[in-house]
A and B are shown apart, each in its own frame.
Chain A
């Protein structure tokens, strides 16, 4: 069985947020909910000031703290390593949000689930989640099951994201992680994230 993961090359990312938009289009997430986003920050001082970008998403940890604390079993790790939330089981207790050190989860409150005056036909078709639950990235499991890459990977114009099987040493993602010495966020937490970053 594969163990899916992702590597993001920060040397290539230009902070265009195409991944953010592709993710919103894929999942029709409501206002305020971002499965994938790009953090940006200005560092240094004039005239050497520059902006840096950090794309973030759920790290699909191999020891997910969110799964352990979930009282209903809504958060589950699949055999292929993808951590998912069953929206029909979630009770909105947010214990997973308190357990996740990456801030990868968002509580979808009892608020409007659409951006404009009413739901668009697209939102009507795509939004199959209730309010009052926790939401997060699922590595586009519905696409992965069909043999496709996650939407953020497919849409990235710089190809800074590579998705694949971390258990296969010949896969592109494994080779990049090994050759470019990619590292995950907060490795000392012991959660074994499946998202790695090059450029650190």
Chain B
């Protein structure tokens, strides 16, 4: 009896290869680079150092996810085509230039006329680390939900958001200079709005895409992950911080501002991790078989 190929178009299949180790790297790596960039902007070397630490810890999670972690160095060999390979260079450049910049800022080392170049190089590497993970996902021909130009931008904004949140939370224990938390919270207000706009735009574009992408959207909005996505990512991570932040934006008392922004920062970080978790877990292959 002859078979027709269409008879094997059974259903979409979820990706299961990348799990919490990769998700944690996406979160910590992005947040670390974001924290470094934000700290660089306000010239806070200790914030920069904390950002580099987060990035290194995140990268350890990524290495633990490898089947052969001891061969990690081989991932530097295909930067011509592979975004993972390019990411290895971005991370290395950020850690190296970032560490030098911290030493320069702390007056441990005098870089002379190289200081500006090091600063520009470190900032560029930080932006690249925040963005490249979006490019790892976006070209995927197999998983249509990831196949979107929105991801590099969304990952950049979420990384900056998370980086500033870590800066807010660490501000009481970081050595001088003092950090203007009220100002940072105003920046976060704009970034949260931007995140909301980008995430909803991505969902809107994907809802008219391939069948596997529509399945991902269905899972996130009406299916298994709806509670986590709508309640956690959109509600707790973005809408609640938006609603509760603005009455406090013009408070001048440090204790009041820190108390409220710390809570909001924790909510946003929770939403960020959840967003990256759901983006990875909601990825589905097109129905082949």
Residue ranges of A at the interface with B (Cβ–Cβ < 8 Å): 10-11, 13, 39, 41, 43, 50, 52-54, 56, 65, 67-74, 89-95, 97-103, 107-110, 130-134, 183, 185-186, 189-191, 197, 199-200
Contacts and interface: CB of A to CB of B under 8 A. Distances in A.
Interface string B73-94: 0111110011111001000000
Q: Tell me if B's interface is mostly helix, strand, loop or mixed.
A: loop
A107 B4 CA distance: 30
A72 B78 contact: yes
B84 A69 contact: yes
B136 interface: yes
B75 A54 contact: no
A90 B67 contact: yes
Interface stretch (B11-19, B30-38, B102-110, B239-247): B11-19
Please classify the interface of chain A as helix (H, G, I), strand (E, B), loop, or mixed, using the class held by over half of its residues: loop
A101 B68 contact: no
A53 B78 contact: no
B72 interface: yes
A103 B83 contact: no
Contact of A101 (B66, B71, B78, B141): B141
16 contacts: A10-B5, A71-B75, A71-B76, A72-B85, A73-B74, A89-B71, A90-B68, A92-B66, A93-B66, A94-B17, A94-B67, A99-B141, A103-B288, A134-B67, A189-B141, A199-B5
A39 B288 CA distance: 11
B82 A69 contact: yes
A197 B5 CA distance: 8
Interface residues of B, number: 42
Contacts of B13: 103
Contacts of A190: 141
A99 B142 CA distance: 5
B2 interface: yes
B10 interface: yes
B5 A54 contact: yes
A10 B75 contact: no
A101 B288 contact: yes
B259 interface: no
B68 A95 contact: no
Nearest to B75: A71
Contacts of A133: 67-68
A94 B68 contact: no
B143 interface: yes
Contacts of A13: 3
Contact of A11 (B2, B7, B67, B85): B2
A45 B66 CA distance: 45
A97 B142 CA distance: 9
A10 B7 CA distance: 12
Nearest to B88: A71
Contact of A109 (B1, B67, B85, B139): B67
Contact of B7 (A43, A74, A109): A43
A96 B3 CA distance: 29
Contact of B68 (A53, A68, A132, A191): A132
A39 B3 CA distance: 12
Interface in B225-258: none
B78 A71 contact: yes
Nearest to B5: A200
Contacts of A67: 81
A191 B141 contact: yes
B286 A95 contact: no
Nearest to A67: B81
Nearest to A74: B74
B43 interface: no
B114 interface: no
B18 A98 contact: yes
B116 to A, nearest CB: 32
A185 B15 contact: no
Given A41-B7, A54-B5, A54-B289, A100 B142 contact: yes
Q: What are the 4 tightest A-B residue pairs by CB atom distance, in nearest-first order? A: A92-B67, A132-B67, A52-B3, A101-B142
Nearest to B1: A50
A102 B13 CA distance: 11
B17 A186 contact: no
A93 B17 CA distance: 9
Contact of B143 (A10, A53, A98): A98
A39 B77 CA distance: 36
Given A91-B72, A109-B67, 8 more contacts: A54-B3, A71-B78, A72-B71, A90-B67, A92-B66, A98-B142, A132-B67, A200-B4
